[in-house]
Structures are given as structure tokens and as C-alpha cells.
Amino acid sequence: MQLLGILAFVIALLLSVMIHEFGHYLTAKRYGMKVSEFFLGFGARLWSKQRGETEFGIKAIPAGGYCKIEGMTPGDQMPEGEEGRAFYKASSGRKLIVLGAGSFLHFVLGYLLLFVLFAFVGTNQLLPTISEVVKGSAAQEAGLLAGDEVTAIDNKKVTSWYDDVQVIRNSQGKPLTLTIKRGADELQITASARPEVIDGEERYVLGIINEVGLKRSNPITAIKNSATVTKSFLVESAKSLIKLPSKIPALWGQTVGGEKRDPNGLVGVVGVARVSGQAIGSDALSITERLSTFILIIASLNIFVGLFNLLPILPLDGGHMAVAIADELRAFYARLRGRPRPAAIDVTLLTPITMVVFVILAALTVLLLVADIVNPVILNL
């Protein structure tokens, strides 16, 4: 079962890469740029097919993919008569759209996965059904029993216990009328919550413990919840990227020194694949819970990768976007001085910087690979 989870992760990752590159392909074609290749993987060709001017195919090493847009730099040779279709000759706005389309689709995919999770799979939530009544509590004195389902509080229908329980917490001890479903009967029970200090905060509680279970959201709520979680993932991803350099020393110690692996630290692709396998193979989770966990992992991964790819460093898309923005700023200053638009920046001149960044990213990738193999992250499932 764990192997199945790892395989599912690999397939999901490759599909995410394909969708990313498809974003570049669609927008490049939309603006008349010449796209000569669209491949999943690297290395030797395993299969390909020519459709129009683009060769689509699969290569031997399933470590990503690419969409080859001709004329990325002024030094690239274009077929005679198609010079105007070169990428570098497009307006800065169009360059930014083409370059940013991959990350945009990562965000869209992450959001859609979350919507599927909330609307169709369900998430673990507190349910309005009582699993236990605390001995000596206000709930016990009022006659509430385990198995009762609270359907309304003060005649307001319970739709989400997480939200509706606030009525009890803010009741200030005033009597509350609870509509209870007990078997086939519907009862009206009056109870007054009592103050308790929980986590340093005074709350009014009845003394009931609710069941936890998977619950699907209606489409409108799912849309809102997906947007909220997407925003949360974006914020957390940004924080992780800011903290990334400071976590490398700890990763080195966990890899070389045998220190305990930090679950909240840096994790590579192999590590995430292993975690996905653990989640899907866990006997402690139901099939639906395994699926929901897997969807969360893939959604969060897409949002993180989308944001990472927007970092303004070459060879990432964000680095090329930074060059396009710099081109536009140079053109703006030229206009202010009454001068003609300067030639586009040739990114090949930035190759030394690109190589330094590439070496750093490659070294980090190797370190993460070794860490994920010799000292993997283990979930407590």
C-alpha cells in the first residue's frame, strides 16, 4: 500500500509538471510564438509525435519536463520569415504572461484540489453528535446523553459545529435551548454553560465532547474554504522560502550528524513521496482519510512549487520575469530621456549568475536527496 502511495505521488507530480508546461505552451501559442517541443522528462526520447510545428513526447528520465519556445535570446536562430515569432521580440507584458502561466496553473490546480477535497471527499470536522458527556457537568445535569445530536441552538439551525459552538462559548451562562435529535425523537433541552479557563482563556462550556468525522461542504462553502486554505498555503510557503537559508545548517546536521529529522524542516521530492506513501499506507486512517491527506499534500506541493518558481532568480521563470521587468524599466527611462527603446537584455550574458544559482540549487537537491534516504521524515500515523 505504501508503494502505491509513492507511485500515486510520482504520477501526480508528473501531471503537475505537465500542467505547468502546458501553461507556457498555451500562452506562447496564443501570442504567436513558435513552440517546437513539448516533452515530459529529460534525456533520450522514448516516444514522440509531431503535431503541427510542435513535437510532443516522453523522455527517459521522469524528472520534470519542458516546453521549448524558440528565440528565448537574441542569439537564437529563427527560421527564415519567422523572426518576429521569437520570444525575445514579444512585448514585456506578453513575456510576463507566458513566463508566469506555469506558476498560475500550479495555484489553480492547488485550489481545485482543495475544492474537490472540501466538496466531494470531505475533511475531518467536529460533528454536532455528542460522543461523551462530562460527569458532573451542566450537560449531564440538563439530561444530555452520548449519541444525542444537537440540531439547533436557540432555534438557530446547526450547520457547522466549529462556528455554532461559539454561541455556547459566548453565552455568559444564560440558559440555552438546545434542539436534540435522540433516535427517532426530537427534544427541547435547556442548559446553562459554565465558565472554565481553557488555554488561559475563559470560556463557557456545557461539558460535552463531540464526535469527529469526515464531512463534505456545500459548493459555496467549499469555494470559500478552498480560497482560505490556498491563501494560508501561500503565506506559509512564503514564510518557508524566507526561512529556507537558515534551515540548511540544521539539514546538514540531520544528514551527516545523524540528528533527529525535523518534520517541519526541509524535505525533498523523495521525502514528500515517502510521506505520501506513509499516509496512503497507514492502517490508522480510513480510506477516505488517506485520500484527503494525499490531496492536501499534492495541493500544498503545487502551491509551494508555484511560488518557488516565481523567485526572481535565474534559471527559474521568476528570474526571466525579472529580466522582462528590467527591460521595461530601461525602456521607461529611455522614453523619459527622449531616447529610443534599448535592445532587450540578452540573458546569455547572465549565464555566470545562472550557473552559480544552478549549482547551489543542485547541491541543495542532492543534500535533500541524501537526507530523505538516510534519515527520512517519519509521520506518527
Other beta carbons less than 10 A from residue 186's beta carbon:
12
Q: Residue 1: what pLDDT?
A: 66
Q: Residue 74: what pLDDT?
A: 86
Q: Which of 334, 331, 314, 336 is nearest to 323 (CA)?
A: 314
Taking the C-alpha atoms of residue 201 and residue 197, their distance in angstroms, rounded to an integer, is 5
Confidence of residue 379 (pLDDT cuts 50, 70, 90): low
Question: What is the CA 225 to chain-centroid distance, rounded?
Answer: 14
Which sequence spans correspond to the domains of the chain? 1-34+70-122+217-381, 123-215
Place of cell 518557508: 240
Q: Quick one: cell of 42?
A: 529529460
Strand-pair partners of 157: 152
Mean pLDDT along residues 171-199: 94
Amino acid residing at 361: L
Taking the C-alpha atoms of residue 69 and residue 299, their distance in angstroms, rounded to an integer, is 28
Taking the C-alpha atoms of residue 264 and residue 251, their distance in angstroms, rounded to an integer, is 11
Q: Residue 38: what pLDDT?
A: 97
Confidence of residue 266 (pLDDT cuts 50, 70, 90): confident
Strand-pair partners of 130: 210
Q: Quick one: cell of 184?
A: 427517532
Taking the C-alpha atoms of residue 147 and residue 132, their distance in angstroms, rounded to an integer, is 8
Q: Which of 142, 146, 143, 150 is nearest to 180 (CA)?
A: 150
Whether 381 has a pLDDT exceeding 60, the answer reads no
H or E element at residue 175: strand 175-182
122-166 pLDDT, tens digit per residue, is 998 889 999 999 999 999 999 999 999 999 999 999 988 988 899
Mean pLDDT along residues 272-295: 87
Mean pLDDT along residues 86-96: 94
pTM over the 0.75 mark: yes
45-78 pLDDT, tens digit per residue, is 999 999 999 999 999 988 789 999 999 988 899 9
Q: Residue 279: what pLDDT?
A: 81
Instruction: Supply φ then ψ for residue 5, to 5 degrees.
Output: -65, -40
CA neighbours within 13 Å on the CB side: how many for 67?
22
Q: Residue 274: what pLDDT?
A: 85
Q: Residue 277: what pLDDT?
A: 87
Q: Does domain 123-215 have CATH number 3.40.50.1110?
A: no
